[in-house]
């Protein structure tokens, strides 16, 4: 590249930045509300069965939809779909992190790119299903001969003007066929017209975004030219929108039906190129959304990958909580058994860790001061419920979920399991017994972070899980901290008085608790129970 070309490139970039700074503000677009099923359409259409980082149960446990909505504020359906997919499938690489860092470091470039993506926010319908699947219909067999019907109708009309009533009957029949075709395809054409508007907006933004980079690569120029050609071929001639012309050409010449079949074939024949266009624009707009989000949060850090059962999160918070209490956790070679008083925030801690692990894999950052975390799959079991529709009790639902987690653990992919109150749907003894067996099997191959009020699980699983306790900070009761060990001061019985149960019930419960504590808090020689391979 010679010096003149370099100077020209620098001059072009300077002009673009100056023009952006002097550009009048655009009218704020009105974001169209999309259903959750529309946002998930790209993930369902383009997902691979070989890659599964989380499942929908985990997404629900981790409030992933609410988090994605927070990220996608001010973004189009394209960015929303891409963020939805990244959170479930993608793993951020160094190139992706560098793209985000470049946009953060260059707010002018970020603003220019956002301006070019503004038209995308005005689309009213998603098109990923048509681009990534074979959902585009084949043209009717008689499509190539459609011109015969309107031409024949006109000829019959001319003949009827100088002929008998039979010719008029033929005109009425032909007109009836035209009406029947319009009635049959009117709904499809109306929906397809909206999809074409979305597709044209996508191609228009793609062209304007491509023009931001120096056009010295043949591939870029060729892509831009192809996008322009497709955009023109999907549009109807300007004269078609003149008063009366549109109505007559559609009713007499079936122009709208012919255009429907023609554009369906154009989209299908260019599907591979349109997929590349879609992914390029959607990924860019998703990056822009992430940068806007990071600029609005008080704290984040770029995460580093950790191998094996290692996890370090310093002052980590949950991004959906306004005034979250920051906690630090460090695990080396083992998972964690988390205990704590009722209502202190154990479930929130598990969701904080789980969501930060997902975000680190998908986007490369965490809501912490520093982070070194496993980059792999995350599976959880936090909200199992009974179901009247399938006649499934709570314990049966927990068993089904536990079997799903064991199957994932056997797949040999790096996985972190986040589990809250396992097997609460059965009696105390069976709950502890089943939980100990399942957690030991999961922990033998994967990292497990579990919370439970069954404190006897801590010594049972001490070889696999580090006991940690969530407690209030001594100097500031509103702040929490994690300390090593098991909860020594449960508050479940004290809460009876707080909820008006009376001293009599509280005292009875205390006596039963003291009696049980001798057997359950300090069991004798419990580790050998899980290690023995013999049968009783």
What rounded mean pLDDT belongs to the chain?
83
Do residues 21 and 108 lie in contact, with contact meaning Cβ atoms separated by under 8 Å? yes
In what side-by-side order are the strands of the sheet with 415-420?
A: 377-381, 415-420, 447-451, 335-340, 465-472, 480-484
Q: What is the DSSP string of 73-98?
A: TT--HHHHHHHHHHHHT----HHHHH
Q: What is the pLDDT of residues 434-453, one digit of tens each?
A: 999 999 999 998 999 999 98
DSSP bridge partners of 451? 338, 420
Instruction: Give mean pLDDT, residues 133-149.
Output: 76
**Cβ contacts of 456 within 8 Å, gap of 6 or more:** 432, 520, 521, 523, 526
> What gap in Å lies between CA 427 and CA 425, rounded to an integer?
7
Pick the CATH number of 301-491 from 3.40.50.300, 3.40.1400.10, 3.40.1160.10, 3.40.50.970: 3.40.50.300
Residue boundaries of the structural domains of the chain: 1-296, 301-491, 492-527
Instruction: Name the maximum alpha-carbon separation found in the chain.
Output: 110
pLDDT at 1: 47
Which band of pLDDT confidence, cut at 50, 70 and 90, is reported for residue 523?
A: low
**Cβ contacts of 184 within 8 Å, gap of 6 or more:** none
Q: What is the pLDDT of residues 310-339, one digit of tens each?
A: 999 999 999 999 888 899 999 999 999 999
> What gap in Å lies between CA 445 and CA 417, rounded to an integer?
11
Alpha-carbon separation of residue 144 from 149, 240, 261 (angstroms): 11, 21, 10
Instruction: Give the burial class of 154: count Cβ atoms within 10 A of its Cβ; 0-12 exposed, 13-18 middle, 19 or more buried.
Output: middle
> What gap in Å lies between CA 456 and CA 526, rounded to an integer?
9
> What gap in Å lies between CA 253 and CA 178, rounded to an integer?
9
Q: Which has more confidence, 170 or 288?
A: 288
Residue 265's CB is within 10 A of a number of other CB atoms, namely 13
Residue 135 phi/psi, 5-degree rounding, is -85, -5
pLDDT at 81: 96
Which band of pLDDT confidence, cut at 50, 70 and 90, is reported for residue 245?
A: low
The DSSP code for 387 is B
């Amino acid at each position: 590249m010679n010096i003149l070309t370099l100077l020209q490139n620098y001059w072009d970039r300077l002009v673009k930045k100056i023009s952006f700074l002097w550009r009048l503000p655009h009218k704020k677009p009105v974001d169209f509300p999309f259903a959750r099923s529309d946002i998930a359409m790209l993930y369902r259409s383009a997902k691979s069965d070989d890659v599964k980082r989380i499942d929908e149960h985990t997404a629900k446990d981790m409030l992933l939809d609410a988090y994605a909505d927070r990220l996608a504020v001010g973004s189009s359906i394209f960015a929303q779909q891409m963020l939805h997919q990244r959170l479930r499938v993608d793993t951020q690489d160094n190139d992706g992190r560098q793209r985000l860092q470049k946009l953060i470091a260059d707010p002018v470039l970020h603003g220019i790119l956002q301006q070019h993506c503004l038209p995308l926010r005005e689309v009213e319908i998603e098109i990923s299903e048509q681009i990534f699947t074979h959902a585009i219909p084949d043209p009717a067999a008689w499509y190539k001969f459609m011109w015969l019907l309107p031409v024949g109708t006109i000829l019959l009309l001319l003949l009827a003007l100088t002929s008998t009533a039979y010719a008029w009957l033929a005109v009425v029949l032909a007109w009836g066929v035209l009406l029947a075709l319009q009635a049959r395809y009117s709904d499809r054409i109306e929906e397809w017209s909206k999809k074409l508007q979305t597709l044209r907006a996508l191609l228009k933004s793609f062209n304007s975004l491509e023009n931001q980079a120096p056009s010295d690569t043949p591939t870029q120029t060729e892509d831009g030219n192809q996008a322009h050609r497709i955009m023109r071929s999907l549009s109807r001639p300007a004269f078609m929108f003149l008063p009366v012309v549109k109505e007559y050409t559609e009713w007499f010449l079936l122009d709208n039906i012919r255009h429907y079949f023609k554009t369906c074939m154009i989209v299908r024949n260019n599907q591979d190129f349109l997929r590349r266009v879609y992914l390029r624009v959607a990924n860019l707009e998703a990056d822009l959304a992430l940068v806007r989000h990071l600029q609005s949060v008080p704290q984040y850090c770029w995460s580093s990958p950790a191998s094996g059962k290692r996890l370090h999160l310093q002052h980590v918070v949950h991004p959906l909580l306004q005034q979250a209490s920051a906690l630090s956790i460090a695990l080396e070679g083992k998972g964690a058994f988390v205990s704590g008083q009722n209502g202190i925030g154990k479930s929130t801690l598990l969701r904080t860790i789980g969501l930060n692990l997902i975000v680190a894999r998908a986007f490369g950052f965490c809501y912490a001061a520093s982070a070194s975390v496993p980059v792999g799959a995350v599976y959880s079991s936090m909200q199992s419920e009974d179901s009247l529709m399938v006649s499934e009790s709570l314990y049966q639902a927990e068993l089904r979920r536990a079997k799903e987690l064991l199957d994932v653990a056997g797949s040999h992919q790096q996985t972190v399991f986040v589990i809250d109150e396992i097997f609460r749907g059965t009696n105390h003894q069976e709950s502890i017994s089943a939980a100990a067996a399942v957690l030991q099997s999961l922990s033998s191959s994967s990292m497990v972070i579990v919370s439970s009020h069954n404190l006897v699980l801590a010594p049972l699983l001490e070889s696999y899980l580090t006991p940690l306790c969530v407690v209030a900070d001594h100097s500031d009761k509103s702040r929490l901290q994690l300390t090593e060990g098991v909860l020594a001061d449960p508050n479940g019985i004290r809460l009876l008085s707080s909820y008006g149960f009376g001293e009599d019930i509280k005292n009875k419960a205390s006596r039963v608790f003291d009696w049980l504590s001798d057997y359950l808090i300090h069991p004798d020689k419990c580790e050998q129970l899980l290690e023995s391979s013999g049968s009783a």
